[in-house]
C-alpha cells in the first residue's frame, strides 16, 4: 500500500527578497516521514495565475491527506498560523510576473472567506510547549499567500472528504534582515524547520485519530 502524503509548499523569492525561508523548508522536508505519512515538499511560483495551477496539479497527482502552505511575511516576529483566507487580491508589490492587483476577488464566484482546516489550536499549543514563538493570526494579508490558501480551500470546497489545508506565515531569515538594514524581526531557519516538524506531527496525529 502506498504511503499517505502530506504536501508542504513554499514560495520562490519575490519582490526585494533574495531568499525565502518557505522555499528552503519545503525542500528540506521533502521525503521525510511523519508518523504514517511521507512529506512531499514543493516550491510554488509567485505568480497570480500559475500558483493555483501548480497547486491543482499537486492535489490531483498526489491526493494528499493534508496540504500545508508556507509563506514569508517579513516584519512578523512569530510563526503565524493563519485562521482565514479572504476573497481579496490587493497588492502593490508586483508578483514575479510583474503584475500588481488592486481590490479584485481571488474567485469571482467564491465566498468572502474560508477557514483553515488545519488543527490550529493543537498546533499552537504544541509549538508553545516546545518554546517556539507562534500565534493564531487573523489575517493572511491580501497578497499571493492569501490567494494560495484561498484558492486551495476553494478548490477543495466541492471535494468529498477533502484533505486538510491551510497556511503558516514565516518571519524573515536573519540573513535577510542583516542585509536589509531594516529593524525587523527574524527567525533562524533551523528553528523554523523544527517548528514545521512540530506542526506536521500534530497534523499527522490529528489525521490518525480523525
Binding residues vs a copy of itself (CB under 8 A): 77-78, 83-84, 86-88, 90, 103, 111-115, 121, 127-128, 130-136, 138-139, 141-142, 173-175, 177-179, 181, 183-188, 190-191
Residue recorded with cell 489525521: 207
Residue number with CB closer to a copy of itself (45 or 162): 162
Catalytic residue list contains 47: no
Respond yes or no: is residue 100 known to be catalytic. Answer: no
Is the Cβ–Cβ distance between 37 and 163 less than 8 Å? Answer: no
Give just the sign of the alpha carbon dihedral 88, 94, 100, 102: positive
> Min. distance of Cβ 127 from a copy of itself in angstroms?
7
Out of 17, 82, 124, 154, pick the active-site residue.
Answer: 82
Between 31 and 111, CB nearer to a copy of itself: 111
Active site residue 61: no
Instruction: Assign 140 to helix, strand or coil.
Output: coil
Is there a contact between 74 and 103 (Cβ–Cβ < 8 Å)? no
10 or 171: CB nearest a copy of itself: 171
Query: CA-CA distances (angstroms) from residue 23 to 19, 42, 68, 148?
Result: 8, 8, 13, 15
- Tell me which residues are annotated as active site: 82, 145, 169
Amino acid at each position: 500500500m502506498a504511503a499517505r502524503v502530506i504536501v508542504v509548499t513554499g514560495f520562490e523569492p519575490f519582490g526585494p527578497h533574495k531568499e525565502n525561508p518557505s522555499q528552503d523548508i519545503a525542500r528540506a522536508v521533502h521525503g521525510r516521514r511523519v508518523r504514517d505519512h511521507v512529506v512531499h515538499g514543493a516550491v510554488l511560483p509567485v505568480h497570480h495565475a500559475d500558483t493555483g495551477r501548480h497547486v491543482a496539479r499537486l492535489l490531483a497527482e498526489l491526493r494528499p491527506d493534508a496540504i500545508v502552505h508556507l509563506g514569508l511575511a517579513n516584519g512578523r516576529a512569530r510563526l503565524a498560523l493563519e485562521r482565514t483566507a479572504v476573497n481579496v487580491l490587493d497588492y502593490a508589490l508586483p508578483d514575479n510576473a510583474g503584475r500588481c492587483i488592486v481590490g479584485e476577488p481571488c474567485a469571482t464566484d467564491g465566498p468572502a472567506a474560508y477557514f483553515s482546516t488545519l488543527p490550529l489550536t493543537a498546533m499552537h499549543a504544541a509549538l508553545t510547549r516546545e518554546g517556539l514563538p507562534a500565534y493564531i493570526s487573523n489575517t493572511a494579508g491580501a497578497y499571493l499567500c492569501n490567494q494560495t490558501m484561498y484558492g486551495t480551500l476553494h478548490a477543495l470546497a466541492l471535494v468529498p472528504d477533502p484533505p486538510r489545508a491551510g497556511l503558516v506565515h514565516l518571519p524573515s531569515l536573519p540573513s535577510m534582515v542583516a542585509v536589509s538594514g531594516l529593524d525587523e524581526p527574524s527567525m533562524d531557519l533551523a528553528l523554523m524547520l523544527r517548528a514545521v516538524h512540530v506542526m506536521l506531527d500534530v497534523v499527522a496525529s490529528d489525521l490518525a485519530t480523525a
